[in-house]
Amino acid sequence: MSGIETLTEEKQTNVKVDEWIDWYKSLGDKINDLRKANLSIEEKNQFITGVVKSIEVIEKSGTEHELRIEYREPFVGDKLVWNNVKKKSLGYKLKNGRKKMTLNGVLTSKK
């Protein structure tokens, strides 16, 4: 591979990484916005619909339920793996997470 091809490939990789970081930061910002009371139900619903593909609720007993959540992207447990932790300028790889998550819990009524 020539020097120009190597540089072009590195540039494309950097662009993809930058796009992912921008997307991840945007997601974090949106999650923080969701916690604020000034967003409408429609805005919250639009965000959740964009992130979550499906939610399945399974009743285990009268109060115990299982939630199976499938996300549109595999970011459950994803992480950055640095090529060299001491020299981060060498870049990193994104380790994909999973698209599915299962939660178990007991529902209690609020009074």
Q: Is residue 78 a contact partner of residue 53, using CB atoms and an 8 Å limit?
A: no
Task: Report phi then psi at 109, rounded to 5.
Answer: -90, 140
State whether the Cα torsion 14-19-20-26 is positive or negative: positive
Please compute, for residue 93, the number of CA atoms within 13 A of its CA located in the half-sphere on the CB side.
5
The more confidently predicted of residues 66 and 11 is 66
Helix (H) or strand (E) holding 96: none
**For the ranges 7-11, 55-59, 72-76, 77-81, the one whose mean pLDDT is highest:** 55-59
Give the pLDDT of residue 70: 94
> Following CA atoms 55, 56, 59, 64 in sequence, which dihedral angle do they give, to the nearest 10 degrees?
-30
**Degrees (nearest 5) of the Cα angle 24, 33, 93?**
10
Give the pLDDT of residue 16: 63
Weakest mean pLDDT among 21-30, 53-62, 76-85, 98-107: 21-30
Helix (H) or strand (E) holding 1: none
Weakest mean pLDDT among 28-32, 91-95, 96-100: 28-32
Weakest mean pLDDT among 4-18, 24-38, 70-84: 4-18
Choose among 93, 94, 48: nearest CA to 71: 48
Task: Report phi then psi at 11, rounded to 5.
Answer: -65, -45
